[in-house]
Structure 1
Amino acid sequence: MSTTRTAPLLTVGYMPKIRLAVSLLFLMNGFIMGSWVPKIPEFKDRLGVSEGVLGLLVLAFGIGSLILMPVAGALSARLGSRQVSLVSGVFLTPMLLVMTFVPNLWTGFVGMLALGAFLGAMDVAMNANAIEVEKSMRRAIMSSCHAFWSLGGVLGAGVGGITMGTLGITAHAVIVTIVSALMLAVAWPITLRDAPHPEAKKEKLSLPRTLLPWLVGIMALFSMIPEGAVLDWSALYLRSELGASVTFSGFAFAAFSATMCIMRFAGDLVRDRLGAVRTLRVSAGFALVGMLVAGLAGDAWLAILGFAFAGIGIANMVPIAFSAAGNMPGLQPGIGLSVVTFMGYSGILVAPSVIGFLAEYIGFGVIYASLPALFIVVLLLSHHAVHADQKH
């Protein structure tokens, strides 16, 4: 039996306040992540490092995320996801300002560790809070929460370059900090106050010994490896293997992101109607076909169409896995979620470097045409998504 203490479903317009709050947390997290992307070239030039050293700094970002994710999950079980979400948000808010003033390689390394750590910790905790809101509202909201994260990323990346070009690097960091602080301030009093799980206080911090969270983690991992492959390598694939121009090559990720964002906003309605298992299977089918078309495409237009199709499918696969992770029988939501997020985000943070290495020998087309094999594994494990539909 759940021990969650739910807040009243106060509303703002048609959206309950607790749903608005967790949506703002996702929007803020995505906004800071997206705002960091256009700062990377300036960060590289300021520190005077090569592409190889920058790659190591980016790896430090991933290491920071993966270190703090399990900790955030355990703390969410012991203290409640609200407290961990908001506190990690407080630490995250000034990080872009901090990164604007790091003077050398070593402080840059520490800064990247901290940025990744706070982004990752908040990610786990806000997903745990979204699961508690789902239980309170007795309906799916996870896909739309991830849509708000995607929207924040698009806004941060899209506005960031313009702001830095017109107002300067420091002004951009100050604006991002103020906007992020305002979003956190609005969310603070209305974020769902989920109670700590009493049994979690008696348990030692350890990895789950049951197989289920690891199987759901594989589903998340195999859903996010293709996402990372499109994020990091689709533009280069179009340019180097399909002869696209520099400008046109960016349309691959743009099409993928656009269809993903649209389908995430629609995903909760689809999942409520079809159920998590059927939605996951249909999504995996779309993703499989889309990635296969992209990998076998003979021209850039067909590849872009394939990536757009893949975005339709991949959009709701990870949110369903996260909801299933938070509703596993006999396991605290924060613990299950920390395992699944850790494994899933490894697909975005680690796998693309392996893909880049392999592409030197076999080409990106072969890799993209091979990635559908991962979706077949997701289909085989899809019956475990039934836990995402559990009502508490």
Structure 2
Amino acid sequence: MKFATAIVAAAVAAVASAQSAWTFPPEGPCVAACTDSVGKSFFPLYDDVDSNGPFFFTSLSYTFERGTPTTIAFMSQAGTCMNSCPITEQNSYRASYPLKLKWYQDSKPAALRRRRLAHFSSRTIHPSLAAPPSPPKHLQHAFHPQDLVACILVCREWHQVLTPLLWELYFDRAHYGKIPDAIASRQSTHFRRLHLTETAKPFPLHSTRLRVVAFSYCQLPLKDCADLIHANPEIAELDWTTHHLFLNPAQQQEDRDAEEVATVRAALERPTRLRKVFVGYPHIQLYDVVKILKKNPALRNLGLWSELYLGDIPAEEEGGGGIGPFPSVQDLYLNVSWEKNSKALLRFLRWFPNLELLKLARQEGCSAEALVRVCGSVARF
């Protein structure tokens, strides 16, 4: 009996010596509460705070034995809980994880001795002190992650693969104010869909693989919007509506800046993979629209929020027949005055032989008969 007691005392002393090197600061209160509550649901004596406690290594094993069913299940539940914690606590947890993992791996032999000691003691002291049994094997195929954040916290490989999915969409009305600008800027390389309105103040964007871009009266300067379009050649959907749309014609003319207009036009000519484009900028002209159509052969939806003057479209016998057709376009939205553009509009519509939906913002005086005659494929007006 004395010999067994001496072995237990020596093992405990060895574990305490190894654990004394733990110098990491405690986690935030919310994150700590999550790991503690989830840990105790797995192991009633869970304690990852007291570095000199008898079950410290056993508790850490739930977090750092990566790839095991126990750690996967633990990190899934803990990650779901942490999702509601302040972002500063979550970032601190992720930042310290690699260093803690290395410390645990370096000290792992002591952890294994501690588990054997717990198993030995469970036969002579009390069953509650035994190390928790391994979960049944069927848990290897019954892992149901609660959400994306929980999956990201499982291991480094999952973090690298899934983090881009977490940041795929940035919509300022939902995210601005909840996500610090510095973090949003740093993660903007992962953005694939970007929606900016008047809500967000400008912050640096480093996106280069955007596929959906919407600038709706946003505070981002026009030049910065244009630069972002130039930096993202994969854009498939573009919605660009500026505050200039609210100005009356006289104000629009006064506000017109040649360099600014050239910047916007150059940006609109940059994409070549557009399937959908809506533009609300009063200085766009017909030849700008033609360039967009010619550079995007897969374009299906075309919308022009600002008034477009079509009076300069030449008739076919005057050379206008060489501009179209554009068979890919199926939906068309136009802000055109029928009174000023009736003949030109009919010529314009002939460029779209497969048109299915036509919307006219200004329908006063429109001839339905003429539209039907020209747009025989249109199902809805």
Q: Normalised by the shorter chain, which TM-score bucket?
A: under 0.3
Q: Which has the higher helix share?
A: 1
Q: Which has the higher strand share?
A: 2
TM normalised by structure 1 equals 0.21
Structure (1 or 2) with the larger CA radius of gyration: 2
Give the structure, 1 or 2, with the largest relative contact order (CA under 8 Å, sep 6 or more). 1
